[in-house]
Amino acid sequence: MAEFGTYGDIAIELGDDYVATAEIRRGPHNFFDQQMIADLASGFEALDQDPGCRVIVLCAEGKNFCAGADFSTKRDGGDRGMPSNISGGTGRHLYDEAVRLFRTRTPVVAAVQGQAVGGGLGLALMPDFRVASPESKFCANFARLAFHHGFGLSATLPRIVGQQKALELLYTGRRVAGEEALAIGLCDQLVPAEDLRAAAHAFATEIAASGPLAVDSIRQTMRGDLADAVRAATDREKAEQDRLSSSDDFKEGVKAMGERRKPDFTGA
């Protein structure tokens, strides 16, 4: 593989088999912010324009694929809460960049090691396919923080697992391990952890062997208005997140998470 480019903490290599590898380099947990998602979108947009790329493998260094936003950093007031780096200095919100990512045209296969939690689950559901291991964990933990889900999960999660299963996962915030994820459609292949990247690359290579114009056409037909649906979903999600971020329950949820204890919610 040859280096294609570096976009902030995203390193991209492009092989002669038409498969690019985009690696998130914020290990061990790969917490995201507005800038990281913007960089990822910029890299994918550049790959869209390169005829030498037909499929992207999205992967991450470290222990976890993406643990979402980092709620552990204390804000100026001394408490923990909504990270300040969700909105960038440009005034663009993380979800604006997420919509850019969903609008890119090249098929994506994700190699999901460790945890894809919260907004990290939203990022993991942007690709067309997911390869995971039995140790992988998928979790929409927002309600356990007394918070509304985000990153377009309102649009993506029901499309993948169905409305009822999506409601269950969003209401409970429970973790789904690899075998169950495969059974309900959250991932498409299950392999040993040490084989994740190789399996994702092999999957991508198989896609890349098909006619690129046909794959592009099929993808646009099958994904349809997904990016527009994500845009509408994130508008609603952001408004609800802004509203709930000032609640006492949210403060308690974040505090309890930091203290590794069960939260005591009061509904206020």
Per-residue model confidence as pLDDT tens digits over 161-215: 999 999 999 999 999 999 999 999 999 999 999 999 999 999 999 999 999 999 9
46 to 199, 204, 217: CA distances (angstroms): 25, 18, 19
Alpha carbon distance 129, 131 (integer Å): 7
pLDDT at 109: 98
Q: Where are the alpha helices (DSSP H) in the chain?
A: 34-48, 94-103, 119-124, 153-161, 163-172, 178-184, 196-208, 212-223, 226-244, 248-259
* Residue 177 CA neighbour count, 13 Å, CB half: 4
Q: Give the model's pLDDT for residue 91.
A: 73
Cα–Cα separations (whole angstroms), residue 132 to 62, 136, 223: 15, 6, 22
CATH C-level class of 2-195+210-259: alpha beta
pLDDT band at 79 (very low <50, low <70, confident <90, very high): low
Cis-peptide into 134, omega within 30 deg: no
Residue 204 CA to residue 107 CA, distance in Å, equals: 8
- Check if the beta carbon of residue 208 is closer than 8 Å to that of residue 17: yes
Q: Using CA atoms, how far apart are residues 198 and 54, in angstroms rounded to an integer?
A: 17
| pTM of the full structure | 0.94
- Strand 115-117 and strand 175-177: pairing? unpaired
Task: With a cut of 80, say whether residue 75 has pLDDT above it.
Answer: no
pLDDT for residue 100 is more than 90: yes
User: What would you report as the CA-atom Rg of the chain, rounded to the nearest whole angstrom?
Assistant: 18
Domain-wise residue ranges, the chain: 2-195+210-259
CA distance 36 to 40: 6
User: Is 232 strand, coil or helix?
Assistant: helix
Percent of the residues in the chain that have a pLDDT greater than 90, as a whole number: 88
224 vs 180, higher pLDDT = 180
pLDDT higher than threshold 50 for residue 76 = no
Phi, psi angle pair for 247, to nearest 5°: -80, 155
How many percent of the chain have pLDDT more than 70?
93
What per-residue confidence (pLDDT) applies to 83?
A: 67
> Residue 205, SS3?
helix
